[in-house]
Structure 1
């Protein structure tokens, strides 16, 4: 049954898309978010707000102060360097006999009054973050970013220094917004004998923890940790379990006979180190 025009209401909403200008933008999230330090739950909120800062490609969460253990926060001096879009009030976190400097802050925006944000990226301020019952890493998931892992029958090859190191007709293609397609190979289709294992590990909010890395054992100027695998990815990415992927930025990939151009991404700087 279709409602008549007089019964249709246009309801204003507070959701705002991220805006790439000089403003802090935000929107409410319906996720239940918790953050812990040791055995202490520091944040427990069913009313988080996603916040995008100017020039920052990923969001952070801000939480109502009623959902934060404010008794564990101590107001501290503003850092000398500019951080967090005009924030002027910063807090140290004191828990379990440990002090984490400038772990949290408040934004000056009136709409975000009585909200507190915590540092995530690049600093282990809290030990664990959860959305509902699933642990997440590095930063909150962006609702405007999509990650899909799709089984394929494309013929995909990887070459390093002219040597074919991977060749498959059963890849899983991982499509992630704003990044090149990553090709995940069955291990039996990768020449792992040409690599040396590495104890490197990384975390991703969409895929989980990559604990298996390999570096090229042959000649040539090839970055370390050029290949990786997720032995136990997050449930939504189960299709890539145990498969091996390579950085498109530093290897040659041929798909159905077509050699792809090496992309330029934020990972190029990391690979050059």
Structure 2
């Protein structure tokens, strides 16, 4: 069945101080940002134009039209010899559904160097205040296997519950028996930090990037520091002897 859900755009105030850095300079610093929600796109910070340093903005000829927000104008961000083309956009005359966007601008996240909420660096996209991450220690027995081979077994995992995702089981390294080989892959999560990955060899077959770990997680995710987590989507996990179905997510491929 086709998805007939209406396209929704909404905003709400952000109470945090937001800062954006580029080429060693703070190009935006505000306590007046708003979140823009446009599912399934992650939330976007819209920052008052008065809190974006005008000396670093160079108006470009680029423009776009969005039927849900209006006509956007763009600026390059130029600091010293470094330029990020069309990195900032704004809707000078937004459509009537989102009048609050007038006087605000937004940055392409990846075109900037660093982002901060208050004094903590954040990654990938703004932390959605409607997403919750709970990390709880559990004495339930978690066993991970693949192709009939046990890869890990523990009764001291940290269970991570994140809105919209399957439960993840973070396991002490001493309780992982799988043969692990470090991978060059790195990813980042706004709620947990930067992850490193491991390949797993099972029965002469290498399963690439099957396991990840947060060696230096963000403060809220400190309980999973250095623990190992397997993709539920790609292994068999039993909790207290009951095998869980492999979840269908974007990570299943």
Q: Establish whether TM, by shorter chain, passes 0.5.
A: yes
Partner of 1:118: 107
Partner of 1:185: 171
Shift of 1:200: 1.2
Distance in 1 (CA, whole Å) between partners of 2:114 and 2:187 is 15
Q: 2:73 aligns with which of 89, 110, 113?
A: 89
- Asked whether the equivalents of residues 91 and 103 of structure 1 are also in contact (C-alpha less than 8 Å), the reply is yes
Partner of 1:232: 216
Partner of 1:146: 132
Give CA deviations for 1:164-207 in whole Å, capped at 9, x if unaligned: 10100000000000000000000000124x12111211111111
- Structure 1 residue ranges (4+ consecutive) displaced by more than 4 angstroms after TM superposition: 79-87, 219-223
Alignment partner of 1:199: what SS?
strand
Ranges in structure 2 where 5+ consecutive residues have no aligned partner: none
Distance in 1 (CA, whole Å) between partners of 2:67 and 2:250 is 20
Task: Report the TM-score, using the length of structure 1 for normalisation.
Answer: 0.83
Alignment partner of 1:179: what SS?
coil
- Asked whether the equivalents of residues 92 and 99 of structure 1 are also in contact (C-alpha less than 8 Å), the reply is yes
Give CA deviations for 1:73-108 in whole Å, capped at 9, x if unaligned: 222244689799545212221112122122111132
Ranges in structure 1 where 5+ consecutive residues have no aligned partner: 1-19
Distance in 1 (CA, whole Å) between partners of 2:8 and 2:89 is 17
Partner of 2:16: 31
Higher strand share: 2
**Number of residue pairs aligned between Structure 1 and Structure 2:** 244
Give CA deviations for 1:197-240 in whole Å, capped at 9, x if unaligned: 112111111111113x1112235876521101111111111110
Partner of 1:60: 44
Report the more deviating stretch, 78-87 or 230-239.
78-87
Report the more deviating stretch, 100-109 or 38-47.
100-109
Distance in 1 (CA, whole Å) between partners of 2:39 and 2:221 is 30
- Asked whether the equivalents of residues 49 and 103 of structure 2 are also in contact (C-alpha less than 8 Å), the reply is yes
Distance in 2 (CA, whole Å) between partners of 1:258 and 1:96 is 59
Shift of 1:55: 3.4
Q: 2:189 aligns with which of 182, 197, 204?
A: 204
- Asked whether the equivalents of residues 53 and 85 of structure 1 are also in contact (C-alpha less than 8 Å), the reply is no
Report the more deviating stretch, 162-171 or 22-31.
22-31
Distance in 1 (CA, whole Å) between partners of 2:71 and 2:158 is 43
Distance in 1 (CA, whole Å) between partners of 2:129 and 2:213 is 25
Task: Report the TM-score, using the length of structure 2 for normalisation.
Answer: 0.89
- Asked whether the equivalents of residues 222 and 250 of structure 1 are also in contact (C-alpha less than 8 Å), the reply is no
